[in-house]
Amino acid sequence: MYYGVYNTILARVFTKVIFTIMPYYPLLELEAGVPPTVDSVVTFVVGLGMELPIFFLEIKSPLDIGSISTRVSADAEMRAIFRALRNLTPTPRLHGVSVMGQRLAFYCLDKATGRVDPDYVAPSSNCITDPVPAERWDTDITTEDGYQRFLAVINDVKEMAAAL
């Protein structure tokens, strides 16, 4: 659905030979002994060579934005990828983008502190809440403003990579 489009976008913005764009298949940790569910998620990691991740993008269906449980799951998956890549990235910050169709949510890990922005909001145990609102995916990549916001993140990634 959108996988080819985002692969093409990544290939255009990471044009130097030193960057590698590859699918990422994490071995998800088991929670309470329950195996992870399989859904239609594609994650692309951009790396310096094959082993140093500097950026990632996780793609889900545009229909997922309407479901609280799917948004909570997307947020948890982003945080799991940050945990998996934190010790591998050579950069002081690791950017990740959660994609639902053409809408983007931006995440960033500070490697030194382990803090991920936006902050984690735990679901309530005694009432139904929306800890990951649809407004988190507030950027439409098909607009000029949205594409420029995306490029600002990519430029930060490239500057950190150039400083290595």
93-110 tens-digit pLDDT = 999 999 999 999 999 999
Whether the per-residue pLDDT at 39 is higher than 90: the answer is: no
Between CA 65 and CA 155, with CA 146 as vertex, the angle to 5 degrees is 115
CATH of 3-26+38-162, one of 3.30.70, 3.90.1570, 1.10.3470, 1.10.1760: 3.90.1570
Domain boundaries, the chain: 3-26+38-162
How many Å apart are CA 149 and CA 2, to the nearest integer?
A: 19
Angstrom CA distances, 3 to 42, 60, 62, 119, 143, stand at 7, 9, 12, 27, 19
Q: What is the pLDDT of residue 62?
A: 92
Between CA 34 and CA 44, with CA 40 as vertex, the angle to 5 degrees is 105
Question: Any residues with CB less than 8 A from the CB of 44 and at least 6 apart, and which?
Answer: 6, 7, 10, 21, 22, 23, 24, 56, 57, 59
Whether the per-residue pLDDT at 18 is higher than 90: the answer is: no
pTM of this prediction? Answer: 0.86
How many Å apart are CA 143 and CA 141, to the nearest integer?
A: 5
Give the position of tokens 């959108």.
2
**Burial class of residue 23, CB neighbours in 10 A (0-12, 13-18, 19+):** exposed
* Predicted confidence band of residue 48 (pLDDT cuts 50, 70, 90): confident
